[in-house]
Amino acid sequence: MKGVNHFLVVFAFLALASTLASASDPSSLMDFCVALNDFVNGKFCKDPKLATADDFFFSGLDKAGNTSNAVGSKVTPVNADQIPGLNTLGISLVRTDYAPYGGLNPPHSHPRGTEILVVIKGELYVGFVTSNPDNRFFTKVLKTGDVFVFPVGLIHFQLNIGKTDAIAFAGLSSQNPGVIIIANAVFDSNPPINPGVLTKAFKLEKKVAEYLQTQF
């Protein structure tokens, strides 16, 4: 009986370790699972016999995004919402356009996906920061054809330091990597975070924290 209990403990530990080691979307048990509009942890699947080529197709990444906004950038996503056939396949894609002279994809993170970015046009200053306690900053200036990786969950950004528009494409290791824009999450939460929390966390005067909350 003791041996059986030992086996069960080892089995449970290995099962837990296997679960924790999974760092991307779970593998599909079918060739594909074309998404329907109903949500579970992901999406329900269409009957494979009813799938068509359009379920695996998206058109429009040749079109520039509108960068006339406060940060001077536009992200165009291609995930399971745009291509239902991506459901359960564990990948997605984005195109990002950056206005000249400082177009910024502001500091943000993807809680469920690693990002690999390639510059198609222009010159970008990019970087990411590691987790506490080190908070190491890794940074590069990328030119056309350069590639950079942003590990899953880490805060990162891209800034156009050139005089012309810049374009980058990025692949992500999740059909729904999520995005948390740091400034928006902190200063534009719903409902608002108590300014006293922001004052202490960011070492700001209360009136500065309250002002920042009005800017989003």
Closest by CA position to 153, among listed 49, 20, 23, 57: 23
pLDDT for the residue 14: 40
123-147 tens-digit pLDDT = 999 999 999 999 999 999 999 999 9
6 is in an annotated binding site: no
CA neighbor of 107 nearest in space, from 150, 61, 65: 150
What is the DSSP secondary structure assignment for residue 26, as one 8-state letter? Answer: P
Q: What does the mean pLDDT of the chain come to? A: 88
Over residues 93-109, mean pLDDT: 98
Residue 105 is labelled as binding a ligand: yes
Q: What was the pLDDT predicted at 12?
A: 46
Residue 208 pLDDT more than 60?
Answer: yes
- Chain CA centroid to CA 188, Å: 19
* pTM of the predicted model as reported, rounded to 2 decimal places: 0.83
Q: Average pLDDT of 77-95?
A: 94
In the chain, where the domains are located? 180-215
State the residue for tokens 């080190």: 134
For residue 15, name the pLDDT band (cuts at 50, 70, 90): very low
Across 44-48, 53-57, 137-141, least confident range: 44-48
Considering only CA atoms, which of 165, 171, 167, 166 is closest in space to residue 149?
171
Band of the pLDDT at 16, cuts 50, 70, 90?
A: very low
Lowest mean pLDDT among 1-5, 94-98, 131-135, 167-171: 1-5
- Known binder of ligand: residue 108? yes
